[in-house]
Amino acid sequence: MIASAYGLSASYRYVFPTLQASDEVVVSRPAVIQQMGGADGAYDYYGLNRYPLAPAIYVKKFTLSGANYAAVETELLNAQQYTVSDYYPLNRMYLYGTRRGGTAHAFYTPAKCLSFKAPETYGRNYTILPVEMQFQLPQPWWYGVAGTEEITGDADHPTVSAYITYNGNLIAPVVITVMPITGSSRITYASISNDRTAQIIAYADAVGTINGLELNTETYSALEGTFNPIYDKLTLGTNQTTWLDLVPGVNNITVSVHKADGTWKVTLAWVERWTL
């Protein structure tokens, strides 16, 4: 993907000119280590796992052009308004991306403009002006299309499987909601697993819930209803550190819910993630 625009939303954004445009992305996985007390060397507490992605730097270059020098200045002021000015001082801004082949797709990522360079020689009234903009991306990936999957069952069918095709090329966390639909009994157990990743997250409580559960595997939020934390009622698989993710391709999701009567519904929601 290449960055095609920057701004507040799809309706309020600056579309980058394409004249002599180029994109440069710096993404890294810096080592995260700590020294052992009283010993030489360092201890790698990530072990065999990869280091996490650091915030990325995205450099966008292009050339402004106009019929005359005044027209170039108008284009320059327009570019500055959406990037380094206080036009939207209190709002999150985004880079918007497009596939290199021009295929329409809703790519975006939160971004902050760190620098704006438009060098020129005094007294030379050119009709073109090179511009270089630098952005910091706290989340070093493109977000794509959002998706959901609903899985339903009942007391006679407590375990149900579903196949989710995830189209992104980076692992994506999910938001899981578990809700009773009919019947008066409480949900006393619920587990969700992904056979592709061998991850499982389970809720168990002898009293149970009638308000439903919401598990966010990105922020590690676990709530009964909308307010009550339930971390003490959750378990993960053996040697499992992350909760539950979708990986590129087909994911076999298995859901098991214990509810004495009536029906229940489990919803998984996610947003595609793509490499920069």
**How do residues 97-120 score in pLDDT, each as one tens digit?**
988 876 656 799 999 999 999 987
Q: In whole angstroms, give the CA distance from residue 166 to residue 246.
A: 7
Q: Which of the four pLDDT bands, split at 50, 70 and 90, describes residue 87? A: low
Give the CATH number of domain 145-274: 2.60.120.860
Residue 233 pLDDT exceeds 70: yes
Question: What is the assigned CATH class of domain 2-140?
Answer: mainly beta
Q: Rg of the chain's alpha carbons, rounded to an integer?
A: 25
DSSP string across 155-212: TTB-EEEEEEEE--SS-EE-EEEEEE-SSSPPEEEEEEEETTTTEEEEEEEEEEESS-
Residue 123 pLDDT exceeds 70: no
Q: Would you give the DSSP letter of residue 37? A: T
Cβ neighbours of 24 (radius 10 Å): 11
Tell me the per-residue pLDDT of 205-222, one tens digit each, with 9 for 90 and over.
999 999 999 999 999 999
Q: Which of 25-29, 104-108, 136-140 is predicted most confidently? A: 136-140
Domain ranges of the chain: 2-140, 145-274
